[in-house]
Amino acid sequence: EAQVTQNPRYLITVTGKKLTVTCSQNMNHEYMSWYRQDPGLGLRQIYYSMNVEVTDKGDVPEGYKVSRKEKRNFPLILESPSPNQTSLYFCASMGGLYNSPLHFGNGTRLTVT
Amino acid sequence: GQQVMQIPQYQHVQEGEDFTTYCNSSTTLSNIQWYKQRPGGHPVFLIQLVKSGEVKKQKRLTFQFGEAKKNSSLHITATQTTDVGTYFCAGRGTTDSWGKLQFGAGTQVVVTP
């Protein structure tokens, strides 16, 4: 089944403790992206990657890192999480065509205390 | 930079009634996509509009792209309880990297039986 898999689904952590949210897709998509969803703000793009070893900042990249060492994986790294990074995070992928739709993972609900 | 505004933020609808949600961009868009997110779920692609003035229909849903390609609308007729969820528009600016897809804040739809 074609899908985008995020892990974990839920994560509670403390300020400053490094964490990684994994994202993997099995559709051989070139494009992958991370979004955070907050009430009243919709989905805001954190980082995106148009291909392996190519990453670019979205609208809210501060406090986050990403890497794209292989096509299928696009982990999101929070080196020193803070409470304002408490949010619902979605990973998404898209085929290589400009007009393709995004395929979203099931989301990761992160709480930083 | 480009901003995508979506109104209304909330929409309470009686079952059987019609409603419309609007999406407005501060800049000209290359294309616009619409997604639906059910409560507790992830965004799911509905449709994409590319041409100026384009109108597309999916059963009771009618999507429109403005002549100037700066606004879009989603109209739902005879609302059903299955229409509950949050509807997002997402646009690409003509001068942005095609990897930067900007989402509106969403319209959360509640249907009263």
Per residue in B49-98, pLDDT (tens digit) is: 999 999 999 999 999 999 999 999 999 999 999 999 999 999 987 776 77
CB A93 within 8 A of CB A32: yes
pLDDT of residue B98: 74
Average pLDDT, stretch A36-59?
93
> For A56, which of B1, B88, B99 is closest by C-beta distance?
B99
Please choose, from the candidates B72, B75, B47, the residue with its C-alpha nearest in 3D space to the C-alpha of residue A99.
B47
**Contact with chain A for residue B107, Cβ under 8 A:** no
pLDDT at res. B97: 73
What pLDDT is recorded for position B3?
84
> pLDDT, tens digit, for every residue of A78-112?
999 999 999 999 999 998 666 789 999 999 999 99
User: What is the structure's pLDDT at A2?
Assistant: 83
- Say which amino acid occupies A93: S
Q: How many Å apart are CA B41 and CA B100, to the nearest integer?
A: 23
SS3 B81: helix
Inter-CA distances, B4 with B11, B12, B22, B86, Å: 18, 22, 10, 16
The values of phi and psi at residue B79, to 5°, are -55, 140
Q: What's residue B92's pLDDT?
A: 84
Task: Supply A77's token pair.
Answer: 């790294």
The radius of gyration of chain A's CA atoms, rounded to the nearest angstrom, is 13
- Chain B residues near residue A31 by CB distance under 8 angstroms: 99
Q: Which amino acid is at B15?
A: E
* pLDDT average, residue stretch B34-48: 97
pLDDT at B93: 78
Task: Copy the structure tokens of residue B9.
Answer: 């933020």
- Chain A residues touching residue B42 (CB < 8 angstroms): 90, 104-107
Residue written as token pair 């449709």: B47
B100 vs B92: CA distance, rounded Å? 7
The pLDDT, as a whole number, for residue A95 is: 85
- Among A21, A2, A3, smallest CA distance to A112 is for A21
CB contact under 8 A, B98 and A98: yes
Distance from C-alpha of A55 to C-alpha of A57, rounded to nearest angstrom: 7
The per-residue pLDDT for A35 is 98
Q: Do B42 and A90 touch (CB under 8 A)?
A: yes
- Contact state of A42 with B98 under an 8 Å Cβ cutoff: no
